[in-house]
């Protein structure tokens, strides 16, 4: 049957897309709207995922009244059985995990920004965040109580397991993930139109001018990184639930770069661009896999998957050079005045080269 094949592909690609959408939107919020070079995005993503695992594992122990080592095989059974039996545990656990994951990620973001407040040079902040991301991975990897160290935490139960049928619970989870992604997108959309969003862009364009208008740059930076980190944390929780497994080694700096690629390809400073960038990257991944399968039969000694990365790098350079604002550039800022008086400019701005 082809229909069910299509449905499965849509669901699996869609889930990854939703998670990447939230991540790309959050990076766009930090860099696109406010010029913060977040090279440590994977850190916040990871914090959300680890928090989800930790919460669920300990909650299961609490609910069942036992104290099983959360990394053992019995604990995995325990979590799955408790989730099947008790909807309260399953869904309650999920809600708790999302709250804990997002807030914790936001707090980590806040801490990092506060400590790097004095650094004016953007690229230095980027390096500090990169180092922070790698550090957290190594620490979590070597410290068992958080996410079972090297082995990872298996068995994060689907919040809808109690429904009984594995297929249906996956559908429900997918809808949930999509809903959360859609909510994030709508929020970003609203922000970009709001006075707050305009202020963010003003700061990005010219810090000095914005400051002279009375905007507190540091406070804004803290707020932006807090929200951005919260969104990444949320994505991390969704990821943990979707895959059902978290391991420190899954959160390497390469993932940060993947998110940067997605944002830059799609469009900087533009939520629609971010959405399209995430879409492009997800689709490219699926497509190159199939392509590689066909190419493998030709017996060329060159490993196509490496070539894929070369192409991605070249694409990024082309985008940076010729369309620095991505394939879908940022539109003009829509103030209320623009909406009323802007139609005259419309034709003119369409022909103007950006």
Partner 1 sequence: MEISAVELVSSLVRTLQSGSLYALMALGLTLTLAILKIPNIAHAEYVTIGAYVSFTLINYAGLQLWQVIAPSFLVGGAVAVASYYAVFKPLKKRGASMFILMVASFALALIFRHIIYTIAGIGNWGLGVKPKIVTNAVFRVFGVYISDILLMALPTSIIAMAALYIFIMKTRTGKQMRAVAEDPDLAVASGINPEKIALITLIISGGIASVAGSFWVIFTHAHPDVGLEALLRMIAASALGGFYSYPGTVAGAIIVSFSENTVMDALNRSFGLSLALKPLIPMAIIILVLVTHPTGLSGITWRRKRTLIARGV
Partner 2 sequence: MSSSGVANSVLVAVAVVVLLIGLGIGIVVSPAIMGTGPIQTVTKTETTTVVAGATATQTIATTVTQTSVSTVTITQQAGPQKTEYTIGFAYELTGAQASFGNDMKDAGLVAIAELNEILEKSGSPIRFKSVVEDTASTPEGTVRAVQSLVENHRASIIVGPISSLGVAAVKGYLDQKEVVLVSCCSTAVTLKLPNDYIFRVIASADVQGKALSKSVLADGFRKAAVIYRAEAFGESLFNEFKKDFESAGGTVAAVPYAPDQSDYSAEVAKLSEEVRKLGPSETAVVAVSFQTDGLLILGLARLDETLSNVRWYGINTLRVPAFLPPQAPREIAEFMVKVKMTSSYTSPPANPRYFHFLEAFEKLHGRKPGPQAELGYDAAWVAINAILAAGTDNGRILKDVIIPVAREYMGASGHIWMDAAGDRAIQDYTISRIIAEGDSFKWIDIASYDASANKIRPIS
Residue 349 engages partner 2 in binding (rule: CB under 8 A): yes
Residue 95: contacted member of partner 2, partner 1, none (CB under 5 to 8 Å, by partner type): none
Residue bearing tokens 């708790």 = 96
Cβ distance to partner 1 smaller for residue 122 or 293:
122
Nearer to partner 2, 207 or 285 (CB): 285
Nearest to 154 by CA among 240, 47, 62: 240
SS (H, E, C) 27-94: HHHHHHCCCCCCCCHHHHHHHHHHHHHHHHHHHHHHHHCCCCCCCCHHHHHHHHHHHHHCHHHHHHHH
Nearer Cβ to partner 2, position 37 or 147?
147
Residue 187 burial (10 A CB sphere; 0-12, 13-18, 19+): middle
Number of residues that bind partner 2 (CB under 8 A): 71
User: Near partner 2 by CB under 8 A, which window of 100-108, 209-217, 313-321, 323-331?
Assistant: 323-331
**Residue closer to partner 1, measured from CB, 49 or 132:** 132
Phi, psi of 247 (to 5 degrees): -145, 140
Instruction: Name which of 269, 277, 238, 276 is nearest 331 in CA terms.
Output: 269
201 Cβ contact list (under 8 Å, min separation 6): 33, 269, 333
- Provide the 8-state DSSP code for 323: -
244 belongs to the binding site for partner 2 (CB under 8 A): yes
Binding-site partner at residue 34 among partner 1, partner 2, none, CB < 5 to 8 Å by type: none
From the list partner 1, partner 2, none, partner contacted by residue 49 (C-beta under 5 to 8 A by kind): none
Binds partner 2 by CB under 8 A, chosen from 12, 58, 116, 223: 12
- Among 279, 236, 247, 232, which residue's Cα sits nearest to residue 129? 232
Residue number, 124 or 166, with CB nearest to partner 1 = 124
Nearest to partner 2 of 1, 298 (CB atom): 1
Among residues 38, 102, 136, 170, the one that binds partner 2 under rule CB under 8 A: 170
In sequence order, what E strands does the chain have?
A: 153-154, 245-246
Q: Which of partner 1, partner 2, none does residue 313 bind (CB under 5 to 8 Å by kind)?
A: partner 1
* 175 contact, one of partner 1, partner 2, none, CB 5-8 Å limit per kind: partner 2
Q: Which of residues 72-131 bind partner 2 (CB under 8 A)?
A: 72-73, 76-77
As measured in angstroms, the least distance from the Cβ of 131 to partner 1 is: 4
The length of the chain in residues reads 354
CB 273 within 8 A of CB 192: no
Residue 134 binding partner 2, by CB under 8 A: no
Nearer to partner 1 by C-beta: 44 or 242? 44
What's the CA gap between 354 and 352, in Å, rounded? 6
The three-state secondary structure class of 143 is coil
Residue 24 CB, shortest distance to partner 1, in Å, is 15
Binding site for partner 1 (CB under 8 A): 35, 37, 115-116, 118-119, 121-124, 126-128, 131-132, 134-135, 138-139, 142, 257, 260, 264, 301-303, 306-307, 309-310, 312-314, 316-317, 320-321, 324
């Amino acid at each position: 049957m082809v229909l069910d094949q299509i449905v499965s592909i849509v669901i699996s690609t869609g889930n990854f897309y939703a998670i990447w959408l939230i991540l790309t939107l959050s990076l766009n919020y930090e860099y696109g709207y406010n010029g913060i070079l977040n090279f440590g995005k994977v850190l916040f993503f990871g914090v959300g995922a680890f928090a989800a695992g930790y919460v669920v594992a300990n909650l299961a122990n609490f609910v069942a009244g036992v104290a099983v080592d959360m990394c053992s095989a019995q604990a995995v059974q325990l979590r799955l059985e408790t989730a099947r039996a008790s909807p309260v545990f399953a869904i309650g656990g999920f809600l708790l995990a999302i709250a804990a994951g997002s807030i914790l990620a936001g707090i980590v973001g806040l801490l990092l920004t506060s400590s790097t407040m004095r650094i004016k040079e953007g690229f230095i902040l980027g390096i500090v965040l990169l180092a922070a991301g790698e550090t957290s991975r190594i620490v979590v990897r070597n410290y068992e109580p958080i996410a079972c160290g090297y082995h990872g935490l298996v068995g994060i139960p689907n919040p809808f397991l109690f429904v009984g049928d594995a297929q249906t619970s996956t559908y429900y989870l997918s809808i949930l993930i999509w809903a959360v992604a859609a909510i994030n997108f709508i929020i970003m959309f609203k922000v970009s139109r709001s006075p707050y969003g305009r202020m963010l862009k003003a700061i990005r364009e010219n810090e000095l001018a914005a400051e002279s208008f009375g905007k507190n740059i540091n406070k804004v930076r803290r707020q932006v990184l807090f929200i951005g980190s919260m969104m990444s944390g949320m994505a991390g929780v969704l990821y943990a639930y979707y895959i059902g497994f978290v391991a420190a080694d899954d959160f390497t700096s390469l993932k940060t770069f993947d998110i940067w690629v997605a944002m830059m390809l799609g469009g900087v400073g533009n939520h629609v661009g971010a959405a399209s960038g995430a879409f492009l990257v997800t689709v490219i991944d699926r497509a190159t896999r199939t392509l590689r399968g066909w190419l493998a039969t030709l017996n060329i000694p060159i490993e196509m998957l490496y070539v894929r990365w070369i192409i991605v790098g070249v694409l990024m350079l082309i985008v940076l050079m010729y369309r620095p604002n991505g394939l879908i550039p940022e539109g003009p800022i829509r103030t209320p005045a623009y909406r009323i008086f802007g139609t005259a400019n419309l034709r003119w701005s369409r022909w103007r080269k950006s």
